[in-house]
Amino acid sequence: MTILITGGAGFIGSHLVDHLLNETNHRIRVLDDFSTGDATNLEHLDTDRLEVHTGDIRNAKTVSAAAEDVDFIYHLAAAVGVQNVVDNPLESLRINLRGTENVLEAAHADNIPTFIASSSEVYGKSEDLPFSETDDRVIGPTTVTRWGYTTAKATDEFLALSYHRKHDLPIVIGRYFNIVGPRQTGEYGMVIPTFVEQALTGEPLTVYGDGTQTRSFTHVADAVQVTHELLETPDAHGEVFNVGAPNPTSINDLAERVLEMTGSDSQISHVPFEEAFDENFEEPDRREPDVSKLESVLGWAPETDLDRILADVIEARSETRPGVT
């Protein structure tokens, strides 16, 4: 079998490549434009079962060529990260809308089962915790740029579900909740790699807002295991699943834990959201998945072990910055 992973040079995508190479005998084809992904995420892999295509998912011909003769598609390529989306709104929308439509069209041409990576951002600023897949979404106005990402991801879900309903295309949608682990970059606003880097270099840890906002963090190893199992479970096809671990942590507690685990004497510095982004910026206060649907279909769901996540991230960062502990 051959598997196509769009965004396979990225953070989650490269862990999915590792996982599928380890757990299956399949050949893996990666399609990535290396915009936020990095060749170093794949450089440890020395196997003829991996082929890497450099290309842009906005180009329909590129996508259909990459999907030729594949048996499964994992669609992870996207413009990701709040900072990235706020800085490049038009490009982000095009990648996340046109790119996904190209992938679904290529999948439909050969009826290829396809996983679509969505996001907990789809719930917007809903306060109805924990979030269940059929809950109402609460989204801010179109004048606030950050809501473009959630709107594009939700439209991707509508598209995928419509291909399923109209053409019986076997799709499954996973809404990732703050997936973290080694190889994630802090460059686009991700909190754990940012805090760990700041702690290891003695810089202040920048907490946006008052730090009481909570997030549910999920180890990338669990996320790729769930992703693999969902696409290979026919009962999951045509469905949407939260992919995350419950047990939310406040950003203040996270910062304290990073300081403890790194032994850093960095300070914690609170920065108003309007200063970090722009005056219209809005940030959802709390995020927590209801994982009962995932548990009922797979028989398990990830559990948060924040210390294990932090230990893995700290170890990986220390390896790339020897001498800095």
Nearer to ligand NAD (CB atom), residue 220 or residue 264:
220
Nearer to ligand NAD (CB atom), residue 266 or residue 306:
306
Q: How far is the CB of 202 from ligand NAD (least distance, A)?
A: 27
Nearer to ligand NAD (CB atom), residue 84 or residue 264:
84
Nearer to ligand NAD (CB atom), residue 214 or residue 264:
214
Longest CA–CA span in the chain (Å) reads 58
Q: How far is the CB of 59 from ligand NAD (least distance, A)?
A: 8
Q: Under the rule (CB under 6 A), what is the footprint of ligand NAD?
A: 7, 9-13, 32-37, 56-58, 76-80, 95, 99, 117, 119, 176, 178-179
Q: How far is the CB of 200 from ligand NAD (least distance, A)?
A: 21
Alpha carbon distances (Å) from 216 to 113, 116, 135: 29, 21, 18
Matching residue, tokens 């032994």: 263
Q: How far is the CB of 190 from ligand NAD (least distance, A)?
A: 7
Q: How far is the CB of 56 from ligand NAD (least distance, A)?
A: 4
Alpha carbon distances (Å) from 314 to 33, 301, 309: 28, 25, 9
Q: How many angstroms separate the CA atoms of 262 and 314, rounded?
A: 7
149 is catalytic: yes
Nearer to ligand NAD (CB atom), residue 120 or residue 264:
120
Q: How far is the CB of 196 from ligand NAD (least distance, A)?
A: 15
Task: For 35-77, give the DSSP string.
Answer: SS--GGGTTT---TTEEEEE--TT-HHHHHHHTTT-SEEEE--
Partnered with residue 118 across adjacent β-strands are 175
Of 293, 290, 274, 287, nearest to 124 (Cα)? 287
Matching residue, tokens 């206060």: 285
Task: For 128-154, give the DSSP string.
Answer: -SSB-TTSPPB---TTSTTHHHHHHHH
Of 149, 211, 214, 215, nearest to 179 (Cα)? 215
Distance from the first to the final alpha carbon of the chain: 43
Alpha carbon distances (Å) from 114 to 3, 88, 161: 10, 27, 11
Q: 3-class SS at 279?
A: coil
Q: How many angstroms separate the CA atoms of 243 and 225, rounded?
A: 10
> Choosing from 74, 149, 176, 188, which is the catalytic residue?
149
Nearer to ligand NAD (CB atom), residue 145 or residue 266:
145
Residues known to be catalytic: 149
